[in-house]
Structure 1
Amino acid sequence: MENDLNEKQIQILQVAETLFAEKGFDGTSIRDISKEAKINVAMVSYYFGSKEKLLESLVLYKTSGLKELLIDLIEEELEPVQKIYKLIDLYVNRLNCNKGIYRILHFELASKKRVLELESFSDIKKANLKSLEIIIKEGQAKGVFRKDVTIELLTPTILGTYFHFQMNKPFFEVILGLNTEEEYNNYIHTTLTMHIQQTIKALLTYES
């Protein structure tokens, strides 16, 4: 997806992401996007056709990269637990680098609107789940992971923990003493990521 876009299209998508995240999809017009991007309204329509198609292109642009990373991870020479740890690290990094689009997705999914109708986005989620399934089954075949794992619920467990932390950012900043944005992001990449890794490992592996 990323290789199919030119510089102007990427600029439009970046502006749209910022505005959709700040004002919501319904609160943002094509004219708002064209004004912020300093381009003609007709150019946005030329590249994307409609606001709905622009949203679809934005979702695919921001989420398709993880699919390739997970496919590469499957082929890496790592033990099953290490693959799971790296998968979680990839998810958290991807989420944290693309806060805007995931804020948009969260709102759209919660309000049962357009994103639920994006077949191509659904295909990406299915492909990501398939990659996770391959890693889990590899671990099961090696006797490392339990056989009674509900694989479909692992991704919601990862994402749910991350999003709960983000949605309650002011609370966690206070109780954890995270006084700067750098400290907050560092906590996500270290302690929060480790917590999620340990949680998923506990779900997957046999009790010692």
Structure 2
Amino acid sequence: MDDRIKTKQKVIEAAISLFNVQGFTGTSVREIAKRANVNAALVSYYFGSKKGLLEQLMTKFLEGYVHVIEQAIERSKHDQLSSKECLLHAIENILIYQQENHNLARFIHREITLDTVLVRELMTTYLMKEKHLFHVIIEKGMAEEEFNRQPIDFIVMQLRGMLIMPYLHPQYIREVYHLIPHERFFLEKYMDYLTRWVEDYICNEQSSSLYSSRKMLLIRP
């Protein structure tokens, strides 16, 4: 990794740390530069402005978020997996992605709750695509009678809430439940629960029984 990439990464890590504690508006470029131990002019050089830095952070995270769902769909096509297996892989991919980027995930999910021009644009670009991809998986499962027929929008809303909640509110989970969302133990237990939720709430009885009789590796080593 050359010096320019290292410097840029230091700025990104400093910004994520400060944004999480002080918020975007409460953090200055000077503070970011000081935390990163770089000249303040470099923040503008690499990102144009603090707003440009925010946009890059949010865009990169959401691109990666959507990409892991796409990967699950492509894998299901290649390996001829069922819709349930595809959905579970998508869920697993999202949890792992957020765990690997837990500090950034917390900030981005929190920022998405604000009504700004940037957030509206990102919702139109990425969160609408997330919705579409989940619709594709669930509609296929319903068409093949693997999933029970029910309002897909409500399924996606409930599923998204369960997927992002641990990474939007890690402090709540730590203080109230004494669990740490970015640890492997939490990921394994939570994935186990979400697997049962998919089987009990989305799948019909026949497909649930079929899945229980098959072995599938969840949670990559």
Answer yes or no: is 1:98 the counterpart of 2:101.
yes
How much identity, in percent, do the aligned residues show?
Answer: 22
Cα distance in 2 for residues equivalent to 1:30 and 1:74: 40
Using structure 2 for the length normalisation, give the TM-score: 0.76
2:23 is matched with 24
- The answer on whether the counterparts of 2:105 and 2:168 sit within 8 Å (CA) in structure 1 is no
Structure 2 partner of 1:68: 67
> Gaps spanning 5+ residues in structure 1: where?
none
Shift of 1:55: 0.8
Matches within 5 A, 1:98-117: 98-112=101-115, 116-117=119-120
User: RCO higher in 1 or 2 (8 Å CA, sep ≥ 6)?
Assistant: 1
Alpha-carbon spacing, 1:61–1:109, altered in 2? closer, same or farther (3 Å): closer
1:168 to 153, 165, 173: 173
Name the CA shift for 1:8/1:98 in 2 (closer, same or farther; >3 Å): same
How is 1:1-208 mapped onto 2 (pairs within 5 angstroms)?
Answer: 6-76=5-75, 77=79, 78-112=81-115, 116-117=119-120, 119-120=121-122, 122-151=124-153, 152-159=156-163, 161-163=165-167, 166=170, 167-173=172-178, 185-207=183-205
Q: Quick one: which amino acid aligns to residue 158 of structure 1?
A: M
Deviating more after overlay: 163-172 vs 189-198: 163-172
Structure 2: runs of 5 or more not aligned: 207-221
- Name which of structure 1's ranges 136-145 and 152-161 shifts more when overlaid on structure 2: 152-161
Distance 1:159 1:115 in 2: 23
Q: 1-side partners of 2:48 and 2:60: how far apart?
A: 16
Change (3 A) 1:163 1:47: closer
> What count of residue pairs does the alignment treat as equivalent?
196
Query: What value does the CA root-mean-square deviation take over the aligned residues?
Result: 2.7
